[in-house]
């Protein structure tokens, strides 16, 4: 018997029990839709994290003081004074894989303008910090090297600061705000960046010359950190290695001494977050895949019922010349038709559900073509795998016993 006739017979058999066939498909439909939706959400989250890290500076390197002993008491890195301006200059002059570098000092306090106030922090940096962090000027300008040298009381502010201090819509350029009683003239504003993947407001930022923060606010000579950007993401590890070597030499550390500094890169953060995102995506896909397993078991169950109900029909067909392979092929085709049709409906439902999630909850999504192909492949395999055993049993029936079956 040719394949065309077998498909017609299978379709006729399924059409005779439409509701049962649809209910059997339901497990496949839900499973496929769940897999597509979960993978789309997982991939969307991963791409969103990568994009936000890229906006922060994907090749950024952060150098902070390490924990150590002070006065016989173990101190955290934030309390240590192990980084000096000489370290910054040594890295700037000797690391060949660095494109930009900036010292960093910061202080927390209250910003005041007119009757408004807002708690935040001010960061002291140089002009290269803007390119390291990919910060763009909206209006005005950034401070100059001359203003850094003069420890000028000027600053550049983010949109969150503007929103909370200039509530009447005033132009902030040229206005004077106070930070812990020290006046700062706003010379520039930053373009809006929003929240990053870790929920931090990237617009809650005030930048000033690092010399100003050192001398006029903190009264210190050391620095609290160094930010740098590698010339390319691929050389971040080499840059990090060079930085560590220079700092160990500057700090006169022996081979057996631990580092008194920490060097971290955005590449490490990106790897960690994307790894976590991948694990969550796999977990979600596995949970959704359980529905496919349940759907496959449903197909096996219904095919068993179908074989039992049509035992006499099988016997009659075999008695007039149908081969066992024909009987097996017929039931396999029925199982595959159920799973494949369920797969098509599941794909449509999954894409619709994904778009709905994006519209209603504004979650990032990314529908990958491979997930659709994978769904169809899994559907076909599910149909064959779970339909094979009932089909095999049907093909092995004895024609005489089958005809006598009541």
Burial of residue 315 (CB within 10 Å: 0-12, 13-18, 19+) is: buried
* Within-domain flag for 33: yes
Q: In a 3-state reduction of DSSP, which class is residue 248? A: helix
Together in a domain, 329 and 384: yes
* Within-domain flag for 41: yes
* Within-domain flag for 353: yes
Together in a domain, 103 and 18: no
Together in a domain, 388 and 294: yes
Per-residue confidence (pLDDT) for residue 158, from 0 to 100: 96
**CB-CB contact of 63 with 261 (8 Å):** yes
Total domains in the chain come to 2
Per-residue confidence (pLDDT) for residue 340, from 0 to 100: 84
d(CA 20, CA 9): 17
Q: pLDDT by residue (tens digit) across 168-194?
A: 989 999 999 999 889 999 999 999 988
- The residue from 194, 226, 258 where one domain ends is 226
d(CA 269, CA 57): 11
- The residue from 189, 209, 226 where one domain ends is 226
Measure the CA angle with vertex 94, ends 58 and 210; round to 5°: 65
Per-residue confidence (pLDDT) for residue 380, from 0 to 100: 75
Per-residue confidence (pLDDT) for residue 200, from 0 to 100: 81
Together in a domain, 155 and 210: yes
**pLDDT, mean over the chain:** 84
Q: pLDDT by residue (tens digit) across 332-366?
A: 888 888 888 888 898 899 999 999 988 888 888 88
Query: What confidence tier does 10 reach under pLDDT thresholds 50, 70, 90?
Result: confident
d(CA 61, CA 261): 13
Structure tokens at 84: 């000096």
Q: What is the DSSP letter of 217?
A: I
Domain residues for the domain of 11 are 3-52+272-404
Give the whole-number percent of the chain exceeding pLDDT 90.
38
pTM score of the predicted model: 0.64
């Amino acid at each position: 018997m040719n394949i065309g006739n077998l498909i017609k017979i299978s379709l006729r058999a399924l059409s005779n029990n439409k509701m049962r066939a649809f209910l059997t498909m339901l497990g496949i439909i839900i499973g496929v839709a769940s897999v597509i939706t979960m993978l789309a959400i997982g991939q969307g989250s991963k791409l969103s994290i990568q994009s936000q890290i890229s906006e922060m500076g994907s090749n950024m390197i952060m150098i902070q003081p390490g924990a150590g002993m002070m006065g016989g008491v173990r101190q955290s890195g934030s309390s240590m004074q192990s980084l000096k301006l000489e370290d910054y200059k040594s890295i700037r002059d000797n690391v060949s894989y660095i494109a930009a570098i900036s010292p960093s000092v910061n202080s927390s306090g209250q910003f005041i303008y007119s009757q408004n106030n807002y708690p935040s922090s001010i960061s002291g940096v140089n002009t290269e910090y803007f390119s390291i962090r990919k910060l763009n000027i909206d209006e005005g300008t950034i401070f100059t090297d001359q203003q850094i040298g003069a420890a000028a009381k000027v600053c550049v502010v983010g949109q969150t600061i503007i929103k909370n201090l200039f509530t009447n819509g005033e132009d902030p350029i040229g206005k004077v705000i106070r930070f812990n009683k020290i006046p700062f003239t706003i010379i520039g504003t930053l373009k809006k960046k929003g929240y990053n993947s870790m929920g931090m407001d990237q617009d809650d930022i005030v930048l000033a010359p690092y010399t100003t923060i050192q001398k006029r606010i903190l009264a210190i000579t050391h620095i609290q950190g160094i930010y740098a950007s590698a010339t390319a993401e691929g050389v971040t590890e080499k840059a990090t290695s060079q930085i560590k070597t220079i700092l160990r030499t500057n700090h006169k550390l022996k081979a057996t001494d631990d580092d008194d500094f920490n060097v971290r890169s955005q590449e490490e953060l990106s790897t960690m977050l994307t790894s976590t995102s991948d694990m969550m995506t796999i977990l979600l896909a596995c949970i959704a895949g359980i529905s496919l397993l349940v759907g496959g078991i449903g197909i096996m169950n219904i095919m068993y019922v179908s074989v039992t109900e049509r035992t006499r029909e099988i016997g009659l067909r075999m008695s007039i010349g149908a081969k066992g392979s024909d009987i097996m092929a017929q039931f396999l085709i029925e199982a595959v038709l159920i799973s494949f049709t369920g797969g098509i409906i599941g794909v449509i439902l999954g894409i619709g559900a994904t778009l709905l999630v994006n519209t209603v909850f504004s979650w990032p999504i990314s529908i990958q073509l491979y997930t659709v192909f994978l769904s169809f492949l899994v559907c076909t395999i599910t149909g064959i795998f779970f339909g094979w055993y009932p089909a095999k049993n049907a093909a092995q029936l004895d024609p005489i016993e089958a005809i006598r079956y009541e």
